[in-house]
Structure 1
Amino acid sequence: MDVTIHASFLPHDDPDAILAFYRDLLGFEVRNDVGYEGMRWITVGPAGQPGTSIVLQPPAGDPGITEDERRMIAEMMAKGTFAGIVLATSDLDDMFARLEAGDAEIVQEPTDQPYGVRDCAVRDPAGNLIRIQEL
């Protein structure tokens, strides 16, 4: 069986801020940027990995979400508990310095974890937790 990860989804509530974070700070390519009825879906991905993308989506874009669910999602995003992703880099210190200089919200500086990885953690402008491990 041949299965790959093609796309994952993270919410955003400010398309310009989220685009600046993923494009300008992380260096991802913008693959798609689509607007519809005042909302915006932005697809980004790492250079050299055209088959792997992150879709940055409005959290309430699904018409099946109730008003109560919309409020809960907004509350969870504000607390940073709604979504997250783990990325990897060969130079964690350089990536962390870039994020810190770009005023990313720092959650954890580069640290050797007891489970065998060295990583750091930041939040993107929507509150999503981004852990970055060193390869």
Structure 2
Amino acid sequence: MKIYLTNVFVDDQATALAFYTDVLGFATKEDIPLGDDRWLTVVSPDQPDGPELLLEPSGHPVVRPYKEGLVADGIPAASFAVDDVAAEFARLSGLGVTFTQEPTDLGPVVLAVLDDTCGNLIQLVQRK
């Protein structure tokens, strides 16, 4: 068994796609129209056949309070591994990304948390 797909709920799929590809550096894997929405996934360019992240529309009524609750409590919706959190923090800050937590050394890991502009907090993690 392996992880094939996970998701983040996004307020606007076009905005999310631009952020996740142009800013974070993921690559579009699937972009299939489904009525007003799309089956829209991104992958790491280093693992094009690896796990996919579905940029899922936030239209279901339970999603908004779920997302708002996570953000209010500072809980990331997803966690992405990076080689160097400090370098990613500097690169992304230079692109205007807002961080809710700057790089923090927690012993075995260094992490930072950013706002994905789509209603989610995303954690960046570097294993030491």
Same fold per TM (> 0.5)? Answer: yes
Counterpart position of 1:123: 115
Counterpart position of 1:11: 9
Counterpart position of 2:95: 102
Counterparts of 1:99 and 1:14 in 2: how far apart (Å)?
A: 21
One-letter code of the match for 1:26?
L
Counterparts of 2:97 and 2:56 in 1: how far apart (Å)?
A: 20
Counterpart among 27, 41, 44 of residue 43 in structure 1: 41
1:109 is displaced (CA, Å) by 0.6
- Identical positions, percent: 30
Q: What TM-score does the superposition give when structure 1 sets the normalisation length?
A: 0.79
Counterpart position of 1:88: 81
One-letter code of the match for 2:8?
L
Q: What TM-score does the superposition give when structure 2 sets the normalisation length?
A: 0.83
Figure out how many residues of one structure are paired with residues of the other and give that number: 123
CA separation of 1:86 and 1:8: change in aligned 2, threshold 3 A: same
Counterpart position of 1:74: 64
CA contact (8 A) 1:77 1:83 kept: no
Counterparts of 1:20 and 1:5 in 2: how far apart (Å)?
A: 24
Counterpart position of 2:31: 33
CA contact (8 A) 1:77 1:126 kept: no
* 1:51-94 superposed Cα distances (whole Å, 9 cap, x missing partner): 2110111123xxxx5xxxx1x42244346368611111112122
1:97 is displaced (CA, Å) by 1.6
Counterparts of 1:126 and 1:78 in 2: how far apart (Å)?
A: 11
Counterparts of 1:97 and 1:24 in 2: how far apart (Å)?
A: 16
Misfit runs of 4+, over 4 Å: none
One-letter code of the match for 1:43?
T
Counterparts of 1:6 and 1:87 in 2: how far apart (Å)?
A: 15
Counterpart position of 1:54: 53
* 1:82-113 superposed Cα distances (whole Å, 9 cap, x missing partner): 86111111121221122212222211011112
Counterparts of 1:12 and 1:34 in 2: how far apart (Å)?
A: 16
CA contact (8 A) 1:10 1:83 kept: no
